[in-house]
Amino acid sequence: MKFSVRKLVMTGLVAALVMVGTMLIQVPTPTGGFIHIGDSMVYLSGILLGPLAGSIAAAMGSMLADLFSGYGVYAPATFVIKGLDALVVGYIYHKLLTQESAVVKKMAVFGVAVFLGGLIMIFGYLAYETILRGFAAAVTGIPGNITQAVGGGVLAAPLVLALERVKVFEHFKSTIHKV
């Protein structure tokens, strides 16, 4: 897939927003990771930019946040996990909805997409932390990852509604979704 200059620039800007959202507030977890609000931006990146560009922005922004925050050991896993998270959310949202879809349907589809993306994040970090620290230690990270996934969805939902209301997604589709 070819990226236009505009789409490449927007992907970079959204990656920066993901990174800032991830670094803004960080609450350490028992497994050596942290809880943050960046997942709201991970979800929005998949919806705003589409599954492919959104996954790149989420993967890059989240990985850079890990590196700049001193959590470099998580960076490779974060790149894959957050990229897949945004890919799934963006794919489901764009596949099941049209601009004319009712708000209730949009929020239901958003909820399903965030649930599935959250599962990728929860089980992805469970697998990675099992490799790093063993299964017993990795399990202690599950509540924090659930909190992060749910919190990201709760924060992103009103943003999705607001952006839908002002037709930002429609504008993005007509300008940067063109190759």
For position 132, which CATH number holds? 1.10.1760.20
pLDDT digits (tens, 9 = 90+) for 16-28: 999 999 999 888 8
Question: Where do runs of H (alpha helix) occur along 50-101?
Answer: 51-68, 75-96
pLDDT digits (tens, 9 = 90+) for 23-81: 998 888 776 777 788 999 999 999 999 999 999 999 999 999 999 999 899 999 999 99
Residue, of 33 and 91, whose pLDDT is higher:
91
The predicted structure's pLDDT at residue 179? 43
Q: Collapsing DSSP states into helix, strand and coil, what is residue 70?
A: coil
The predicted structure's pLDDT at residue 1? 60
Q: Collapsing DSSP states into helix, strand and coil, what is residue 28?
A: strand
- Please state, in angstroms and as integers, the Cα–Cα distance from residue 21 to each residue in 16, 30, 74, 77, 132, following that order: 8, 21, 17, 18, 25
Q: Cβ-count burial of 37 within 10 angstroms (0-12 exposed, 13-18 middle, 19+ buried)?
A: buried
Expressed as residue numbers, the domain containing 112 is: 5-175
Residue, of 99 and 62, whose pLDDT is higher:
62
- Structure token pair of residue 95: 């596949």
The predicted structure's pLDDT at residue 171? 66
Residue, of 21 and 166, whose pLDDT is higher:
21
As a whole number, mean pLDDT of residues 122-137 equals: 95
Name residue 34's beta-bridge partners.
28
With CA atoms as reference, report the closest residue to 31 among 61, 79, 83, 74: 74
Residue 56's contacts (CB-CB under 8 Å, 6 or more residues apart) are: 11, 15, 83
Residue, of 121 and 165, whose pLDDT is higher:
121
- pLDDT of 178 higher than 60: no
The predicted structure's pLDDT at residue 29? 74
Looking at the structure of the chain, the number of domains it has is 1
The predicted structure's pLDDT at residue 175? 62
- pLDDT of 123 higher than 80: yes
Region of poorest pLDDT, from 20-29, 111-120, 122-131, 167-176: 167-176
Residue, of 89 and 172, whose pLDDT is higher:
89
